[in-house]
Amino acid sequence: MVEAGAWWTLLAAPGLLVVLAALAVAGNAVLDARDAGRLVGVAGAVRPFLGVPRALVAQPRRLPAQDRLLWRTGVVTVPVAAVLSTLVVPFGGRVVADPSVGVVWFNAMEVLTWAGLWLAGWGPDAAFSLIGGYRFLAQGLAYELPLMFALISAATGAESLRVGDIAAAQDGLWYAVWMPLAFAAYLAGVLAFSFLGPFAYPAGRDLAGGVLGEVSGADRLLLQAGRWLWLASGAAMAVPLFLGGGAGPGLPSWAWSLVKTLLVLGLLVWVARRLPVVRADRYVEFAWVVLIPLTIVQALVPALVNLHR
């Protein structure tokens, strides 16, 4: 079982999330350096973080007909929702809060990103940014339902929406093993709500950056950080949902959580580089015709298993 509510976890959880996100950024930078034929090393890995001081000295942006309040709200929502989502993600034996509806909380925070990115695209009153915003909605229509069925599969298997219960219910056999489809749909969902790699459609190069095209300075930093924080949060959540949480032989449970999270994070960073952007017009078709039926069948499997137990 997980222990919830220690006061220091409230500081540790966001801190750990930031560290994980930073590791993902550094790892991606190393792979970038390799592809570009630059020297692969620590110096190259930390170079993206020069963007932080750069963002802090940059002038904020003003546009002729911007909707400043909504723009800022959207930009802030993305990283804040990512941090809030980790409140229910257990790490080893610890978690900030373990409510009976933990899975729903995580999902609700993720859906907040919809509003956040849409507003971030709408706010500057610029065509490419606006198109980027509604691209995310189209993408959301495609990824959200398979993702929810994946979450439901795990919850059905454990007969609980409490994340701690789900991790504990995988005693001996990980859900990733007997619900591989749900696991795959979940990982695709993680890339989609962090709008990275094949799901970078709202921030596409063909839109000169889309939702990221008009933001500069601290706003840009927040939105970019939001992407990587979401990736880290999604990777961390995959561990209790599908990989048995902190359970494992030999090592303490926090170490197992860390190892598993890093492996999932590494896998996501690698996959994100291996695929071109999947445009929503093609992905919606695939998602509704293939993925949704498959994930529904997948959710049926644990339901039937539990009924006959």
Partner 1 sequence: MDLTGLTLRVAAARPHVLLAAVPGGTAVRLAAERLLRARDWPRASTPAQADLLLVAGPDLPELRTPLERLWRDMPAPRARVHARTADEVEDALNAGRALLGPPAVRHASAAPPADAGGHREGDHGARERHEGDDQTPGHDGHGDHRGHGGHGGHSGGQTEMPGGLPMAGQGADRDGLTLDQLHLPLGPLLADWPAGLTVRLVLQGDVVQRVDVDEPARPIDDAAAEAFWVQPWLRAASGEPVPVGEAVRRRAAAHLDSLGRLLAVAGWPAEAVRAWRLRDDLLSGAPRAAVAPRLERFTRRVGRSRTLAWLTRGIGVVTAQKAREAGVGGPAARAGGDVTSRYRQWLADIRRDLPRLEDPAPLDVAVEDSPRGPWSAEHPPSAALIALLPRLLEGTELAAARLVVASLDPDPDELVSRGVVEVARG
Nearer to partner 1 among residue 231 and residue 243 (C-beta) = 231
Asked if residue 85 lies in contact with residue 146, where contact means CB atoms within 8 angstroms, the answer is no
The tokens 């989502």 sit on which residue?
A: 85
The tokens 């927040």 sit on which residue?
A: 222
Asked if residue 21 lies in contact with residue 229, where contact means CB atoms within 8 angstroms, the answer is yes
Stretch that binds partner 1, among 6-14, 167-175, 260-268, 271-279 (CB under 8 A): 271-279
Minimum CB–partner distance for residue 299 and partner 1 (Å):
26
Near partner 1 in 163-202, by CB under 8 A? 198, 200-201
Q: Which of 23, 142, 191, 215 binds partner 1 (CB under 8 A)?
A: 215
Distance CA 121, CA 3 (A): 40
204 contacts partner 1 (rule: CB under 8 A): yes
93 contacts partner 1 (rule: CB under 8 A): no
Q: 2-37: string of b/e by CB count within 10 Å (b at 16+)?
A: bebeeeebeeebbebbbebbbbbbbbbbbebbeeee
68 contacts partner 1 (rule: CB under 8 A): no
Number of residues that bind partner 1 (CB under 8 A): 59
CA-nearest of 78, 64, 288 to 195 is 78
Nearer to partner 1 among residue 150 and residue 207 (C-beta) = 207
Strands 3-4 and 94-95: parallel
Give the contact letters, 24-63, x = binds to partner 1 (CB under 8 A), - = no. -------xxx-xxxx-----x--x--xx-xx-xxxxxxxx
Interface with partner 1 by CB under 8 A: which residues?
31-33, 35-38, 44, 47, 50-51, 53-54, 56-66, 124-131, 134-135, 198, 200-201, 204-209, 212-217, 220, 273-279, 281-282
